[in-house]
């Protein structure tokens, strides 16, 4: 089935379902974004714009390194983006299929023998999110061949999201995915997970280190990082808005 946009997430797989709203929130699961907008300003900023929250702890001359204005949607933009991720009778968000072999992926023929799954989630008629196999110490031996082929040949791939554990930062295993994206000239984004597990000081240190890595060691990585938490839901609304924007479904004012 053709999709207007295909995105790929490599690493811990729970984060992409989080982007679909399948995790617990720090507020009632029945709350709408309109209700989030009624939160006190400090609480709202922490929930929706975690980088802005961290900016308060930086000296003024250091603040530009966070690239807060690279993707800078308004609250109205983010509210509009929520409609794409809200399941209704006209906007179904559903599990589409799993590819146990690469030749099971829609419209893609590949050699047999790869058994790690890729999970496809259809978001209305707008785009498809793909959870790709994790890398690192749990990755299968054929991870590189499997994912490399997919990334090279998937013509409607819009953006690749690399999930980096913000507690430990970029590890040697993360460079497998980074090197793939750089080699194939694929546009990609770093999503920093588990931001609820660190103190503000530790998280800020990790963010600055990863930001420096992006600025000096990469060419295809989007300059702005996206810190998120699947526990507190911090950063998820902004990430959703970014996805809606890059897939051509939402034109933001910022």
102 or 97, higher pLDDT: 97
26 or 176, higher pLDDT: 176
Give domain limits for the chain: 29-247
Across the range 199-228, mean pLDDT stands at: 94
pLDDT tier for residue 62 given thresholds of 50, 70 and 90 = low
pLDDT above 50: residue 228: yes
**Nearest residue to 226 (alpha-carbon basis) of 7, 12, 19:** 19
Average pLDDT, the chain: 78
| pLDDT tens per residue across span 98-114 | 654 445 445 544 434 33
In the chain, DSSP finds a helix count (H) and a strand count (E) of 9, 7
Report the distance separating Cα 127 and Cα 197, nearest Å: 31
pTM (two decimals): 0.80
Helix or strand holding residue 20 (H, E): none
95 or 227, higher pLDDT: 227
CATH number of 29-247: 3.40.50.300
Among the listed ranges 42-56, 79-93, 184-198, 235-249, which one has the minimum average pLDDT value?
79-93
């Amino acid at each position: 089935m053709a999709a207007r946009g295909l995105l790929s997430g490599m690493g811990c797989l729970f984060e992409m379902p989080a982007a679909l709203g399948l995790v617990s929130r720090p507020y009632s699961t029945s709350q709408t974004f309109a209700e989030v907008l009624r939160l006190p300003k400090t609480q709202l900023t922490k929930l929706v714009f975690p980088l802005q929250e961290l900016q308060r702890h930086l000296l003024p001359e250091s603040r530009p390194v966070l690239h807060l204005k690279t993707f800078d949607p308004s609250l109205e933009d983010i509210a509009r983006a929520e409609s794409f991720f809200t399941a209704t009778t006209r906007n179904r968000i559903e599990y589409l299929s799993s590819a146990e072999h690469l030749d099971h992926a829609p419209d893609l023929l590949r050699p047999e023998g790869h058994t790690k799954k890729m999970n496809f989630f259809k978001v209305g008629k707008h785009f498809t999110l793909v959870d790709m196999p994790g890398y690192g110490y749990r990755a299968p031996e054929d991870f590189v061949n499997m994912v490399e082929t997919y990334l090279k040949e998937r013509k409607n791939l819009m953006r690749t999201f690399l999930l980096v554990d913000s507690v430990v930062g970029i590890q040697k295993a993360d460079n497998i995915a980074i090197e793939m994206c750089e080699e194939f000239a694929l546009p990609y984004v770093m999503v920093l997970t588990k931001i609820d597990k660190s103190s503000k000081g530790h998280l800020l240190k990790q963010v600055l280190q990863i930001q420096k890595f992006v600025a000096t060691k990469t060419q295809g990585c989007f300059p702005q990082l996206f810190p998120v938490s699947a526990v507190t839901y911090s950063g998820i609304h902004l990430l959703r808005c970014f996805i809606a924007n890059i897939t051509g479904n939402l034109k933001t004012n910022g």
